[in-house]
Structure 1
Amino acid sequence: MTRSHVDFAKCVDALFSKFSGPEMPGAVVAVTENGREIFASAYGLANINDDVPMGRKTIIRIGSQSKQFTVLLILMLEAEGKLSLQDDVQKHLPYVPRLEHPVTLRQLASNTSGYRDFLAAMFVSGRSIYTPSDRQTIREIIARQDSLNFKPGSAMIYSNSGFFMLYEIIEQIEGATFDEVLRNRITGPLGMCDTSLMLHDGSVMKRLAAHYTKRADGWAQLGWGVEEDGGGGIVSTLDDMVVWQQNLNNPKVGTAEMYQRMATPCVFDNGATGLYGLGLVTDVYRGRRTVGHGGSVAGGKSQSMRFIDDGLGIVIIANNDQVAAFAAARRIADIYFGTVAPAQIELAPGRYRQEGGPDVFELVAKNGVPTFLSSGGVTAFDFGHPGGAKPERGITDLVLSPRPDGKIDGTFCGTPRVYAPLGADAKATASLTGRYTNKAQALEVEIQSDAQRGVLRLRSDFGAMNAPIVAADSDLWFLLQPDSDLPWTATLIVTEEGFEMNTDWVKKLRFTRV
């Protein structure tokens, strides 16, 4: 460590200073060095209404960090001969559709299955994530899917569907609830007494933090209506997550071989190595290997990151959606190692579209620094990544670099792409006005539009959506979400039969003109 502990603490405190003011939710942070805690602090309030401060034992949602616990349970069951990661999904879950290609449990656990994310699939079926939805609703959403995002093993797109399926398999094999299995096999033996599965936002629990979402008029508590599962439903505390991180380093529960498998990145069909392993993410930051996972839920963010060759461990759990936990963990590492930010790569502002494909992103200069926007959100760039600029998200396989002709070269899961600028005054070559259907998923759409803008009305058994659309290219439209700060939520690509809808996590959702 290149700084004194006092200087290090002051610098870390500065990263979270805006959450130390009155009536602010906050975060808890711990930093360890070779297993010894060198920093820990709590910022802001666990409950604004009652002026309750955050603390080491405040219980907070950890979101998708839950996935590593689910995968460990799967590996434990495999070690006992109760399943194999090479099993087809349908061996355990007959309701899951067999689509273009077979899918294995390994592919579920590595986000390489191609199954559409059920949360995104709910949205494009007109059901708000805030609408109460039980487990059977999720099963039906998955069962109705009519296509994979890609051939399994050829790419990686985040899919909560895969971990929901693993969660169901664990309960089915063990004949017990996930929470009981988690407690008996992992949290109980480790003494992680405050770590459990919390199925619903709004549950009552002692020391449970309120979770806050930033709105234009201030903070709000907007819990999701969907029933949580082993992919994102675990709550924990700073103390417990430090114990868990230490267990990954020196296993008392599970084995070193299991954690090595979890931290081994997937290899795509084209031979390129990804970053997602089995419930853990392996990356290289400023030349140093990292292993960890983050989480994002309604009013919550989290990150666990270990610099495995350097003995540095970082845990962040926030009870609000304004803490960029992944980036904050990296900034803590920068402070610890004394590293300097690399020179920025000049990427011209504007919107860019994948040549021959549906993907679109926007580059915006914020304080002179390029920022990445897509239907998945807004993020800064890591300009020190090998090969170019990489959006500073916990899980993305996209890397960008500028070309002299104004286009941008990209690499996605080892496959080269080219992105071309989109014109500012886009007009479609034809109106989308008409009625459309996706019969397999019982989706009905009506669109009224001219060559530049229109309205999409979607109806299904699960819900409804009325949303504006605007032309972005001759055959490309943006679907907007009025209450979102994103520039668009999905793209609509005109086809001979009708149109195809794409989001970050749902691809090739086809609608046929009636």
Structure 2
Amino acid sequence: MSALNPFRTGSRRAAATLAILLTIGAGSGCRDDRVTTGREPNRSAGDSDRSQGVLDGHIDNDEPGCAASVGIQGDVVWTGVRGIANLTTGTPIGPQTVFDIASVSKQFTATAILLLAQEGKLALDNPLSDYVAGLPPWAATVTVGQLIHQTSGIPDYGELLAAAGYEDHDRTTQSQALQELAAVPRLEFTPGSRFEYSNSNYLLLGEIVQRASGTPLPHFLSEEIFQPLGLAMVMDPVGTIPNKAVSYDKGAAGYTVVDSAWEQVGDGSVQTTPSELVRWADNYRTGQLGGPGLLDAQLDGAVETDEGSGERYGAGIGVLADGTLEHDGGWAGFVATFRVSKDRRTSLAIACNTADHDIDAIADALWQLWT
């Protein structure tokens, strides 16, 4: 699922699990996302009001909107909402509204790869051809690590499907995307020679997870990442997800529903709430999952995205010049952004059910309040 820029940019059982976790979260006093935790009461109280004011200033309450959360050391200290989750029913966006976080999902696919590398089930220096059959000879020249860091030279499968005439509302499968890649005669550049964002890299990483673990990527994420950390998340691009917002595109005639029937996983498709994302963010500080080795591997070998910018791309996460971690995403009317501070104490996540709002401006204003 395409990113808005280089950084910013399952099953019924899994969907049921997500619904249960969200219900537990909504009913638990320790997970009330609408109040501060008391960790920094004086600052949080004032910043909560100002933070809600940021959302109110950017979004009308009778249109599709956004939810945003701030975390400090794993605690959700503020969640704000503004707008409508479903224009047909009039259901407002709430703290438990679920969004497709698009390319913000890439960090989870990368984490799955790194966990398997820790277990010795794959190696980052091994070629793509060791794990995915049926690709042209160029697959032997691309390493797993180059897929992670977006330096493979493989063209974007989304652009290939679009060139073949497929639109968002047309059903396309993982197999179709792989078939398009199998028809690519040559790479766009020599692997490892430069950074170029391509969703194909993470689609292929998802395939590698399945080959190396014997488990489809959505199930692997649930069993090895989401459930161990108690996160209400699921990777499921087209399933029915309880509490999920409807996504919209705004045109001259107003808002219209955006329906996507693309079934690919690996490059996007995690469904969750901003509050769950900031809870996940604390793993970049604690290493609760994966330990210090995972923390090192997530940024080891990060590549510069633009010469002289100081910005780098790690394992599914961008690293800004000041050390902030960041990734944005956008897909089929949904947009999302995610940040973790240089000291890894503070995190921010925003998700919207329309691309009509300036999510970067909202994020910048909230980030200034909390960091």
TM-score by length of 1: 0.60
| Aligned-pair Cα RMSD in Å | 2.5
Counterpart check, 1:156 vs 2:176: no
1:243 aligns with 2:282: no
Q: 1:124 to 1:151 in 2, by over 3 A?
A: same
Residue 318 (str. 1) matches residue 355 (str. 2):
no
Give the 5 Å matches for 1:229-308. 229-264=265-300, 266-267=302-303, 275-284=312-321, 288-308=322-342
**What's the CA shift for 1:168?**
0.9
Counterpart check, 1:25 vs 2:64: yes
| Alignment correspondent of 1:211 | 247
Alignment of 1:227 onto 2:266: no
Residue by residue, what CA displacement relative to the aligned partner does 1:436-464 show, whole Å, maximum 9, x if unpaired?
Answer: xxxxxxxxxxxxxxxxxxxxxxxxxxxxx
Partner deviation per Cα, 1:240-290 (whole Å, 9 max, x = no partner): 212211222212222232123213463469997651111111002xxx320
Q: How many aligned positions are there?
A: 330
CA distance in 1, matches of 2:184, 2:168: 18
- Aligned residue for 2:116? 77
Q: 2:32 maps to which residue?
A: none
Give the corresponding residue for 2:234: 196
Structure 1 residue 336, shift from structure 2 partner: 3.7
Q: Which residue of 2 aligns with 1:14?
A: 53
Provide the C-alpha distance between the structure 1 equivalents of 2:211 and 2:354, rounded to a whole number of angstroms.
34
Amino acid in the other structure paired with 2:109: T
Work out whether residues 204 and 266 of structure 2, in 8 Å CA contact, stay in contact via their aligned partners in 1.
no
Asked if 1 retains the 8 angstrom alpha-carbon contact of 2:305 and 2:312, the reply is no
Greater shift, 238-247 or 179-188, is seen at 238-247
Q: Which residue of 2 aligns with 1:56?
A: 95
Query: Which of 128, 141, 144 is residue 180 of structure 2 equivalent to?
Result: 141
1:129 aligns with 2:163: no
What TM-score does the superposition give when structure 2 sets the normalisation length? Answer: 0.81
Percent of aligned positions that are identical? 25
Please tell me the residue identity of whatever aligns with 2:315: L
Partner secondary structure for residue 347 of structure 2:
strand
Over residues 382-413 of structure 1, what are the superposed CA-to-partner deviations in whole Å (9 max), with x where a residue is unaligned?
A: xxxxxxxxxxxxxxxxxxxxxxxxxxxxxxxx
Preserved contact between residue 195 and residue 235 of structure 1 (Cα < 8 Å): yes
SS state at 1:78 partner: helix
SS in 1 for 2:324: strand
Following the alignment from structure 1 to structure 2, what is the Cα–Cα distance between the partners of residues 257 and 215? 48
Structure 1 residues 51-92: Cα deviation after superposition (integer angstroms, max 9, x where no partner):
112122211111111111111111111111111011110111
Unpaired stretches in structure 1, ≥5 consecutive residues: 338-514
In the alignment, is the contact (CA less than 8 A) between 2:51 and 2:80 conserved in 1? no
Matches within 5 A, 1:329-408: 329-336=363-370
Q: Compare relative contact order (CA 8 Å, sep 6+) and give the higher one, 1 or 2.
A: 2
Stretches of structure 2 that go unaligned for 5 or more consecutive residues are 1-39
**CA distance, structure 1, for counterparts of residue 368 and residue 293 of structure 2:** 30
User: Whole-Å Cα distance in 2 between the matches of residues 162 and 104 of structure 1?
Assistant: 10
* Deviation (angstroms), 1:332: 1.7
SS of equivalent to 1:315: strand
> How far apart are the structure 1 equivalents of 2:139 and 2:288?
41
Higher relative helix content: 2
Verify the 8 A CA contact 1:116 1:148 in the aligned structure 2.
yes
**Alignment-mate amino acid for residue 316 of structure 1:** I
Aligned partner letter, 1:295: G
Tell me the equivalent position of 2:14. Answer: none
Partner of 2:205: 166
Shift of 1:50: 1.0
User: Hey, what does 2:13 align to over in structure 1?
Assistant: none
- Structure 2 CA distance for aligned equivalents of residues 306 and 75 of structure 1: 20
SS of equivalent residue, structure 2 residue 319:
strand
**Is the Cα contact below 8 Å between 2:312 and 2:320 reproduced in 1?**
yes
Q: Which amino acid aligns with 1:293?
A: H
> Could you report, residue by residue, the CA deviation over 1:362-399 in whole angstroms, capped at 9, with x for unpaired residues?
xxxxxxxxxxxxxxxxxxxxxxxxxxxxxxxxxxxxxx
Per-residue CA shift, 1:97-130, capped at 9, x if unaligned?
A: 2239811000001111110011112223333233
Q: How has the CA–CA distance of structure 1 residues 99 and 269 changed in structure 2, closer, same or farther, with 3 Å as cutoff?
A: farther
1:40 Cα offset (Å): 1.7
SS of the residue 2:323 aligns to: strand
Tell me how far 1:231 sits from its aligned partner: 1.1
Matched position secondary structure for 1:214 = strand
- Asked if 2 retains the 8 angstrom alpha-carbon contact of 1:89 and 1:104, the reply is yes
Aligned to 1:90: 129
* Equivalent residue, structure 1, for 2:29: none
Amino acid in structure 1 at the alignment position of 2:156: D
Give the C-alpha shift of residue 28 in structure 1.
Answer: 1.2
Q: In the aligned structure 1, how far is the partner of 2:140 from the partner of 2:209?
A: 24
CA contact (8 A) 2:69 2:76 kept: yes
Partners in 2 of 1:115 and 1:51 — Cα distance? 43
Query: 1:295 & 1:229 partners in 2: Cα distance?
Result: 14
Alignment of 1:391-470 (within 5 A): none
Larger strand percent: 1
Please say if residues 266 and 274 of structure 1, whose CA atoms lie closer than 8 Å, have aligned partners that are also in contact.
no
The AA in structure 1 aligned to 2:96 is: K
SS of alignment partner, residue 297 of structure 2: helix
Q: Is the 8 A contact 1:153 1:268 kept in 2?
A: no
Letter of the 2:313 partner, please give it: Y
| SS in structure 2 of the partner of residue 190 of structure 1 | coil
Change (3 A) 1:74 1:131: same
Report the counterpart of residue 512 of structure 1 in structure 2. none
SS of 1:317's partner is strand
Q: How does 1:493-508 map to 2 (within 5 A)?
A: none
Paired with 2:282 and 2:95, the residues of 1 have a C-alpha distance of 16
Query: Any idea what the Cα deviations from partners look like across 1:196-243, whole Å, max 9, x if unmatched?
Result: 11132xx32221111112222111111223213021111012332122
Q: Distance in 1 between matches of 2:145 and 2:257?
A: 36
Partner of 2:10: none
Q: Contact (CA 8 Å) 1:154, 1:270: kept in 2 or not? A: no
CA distance in 1, matches of 2:349, 2:177: 31
Q: Quick one: which of 114, 117, 138 aligns to 2:156?
A: 117
8 Å Cα contact 1:19-1:43 kept in structure 2: no
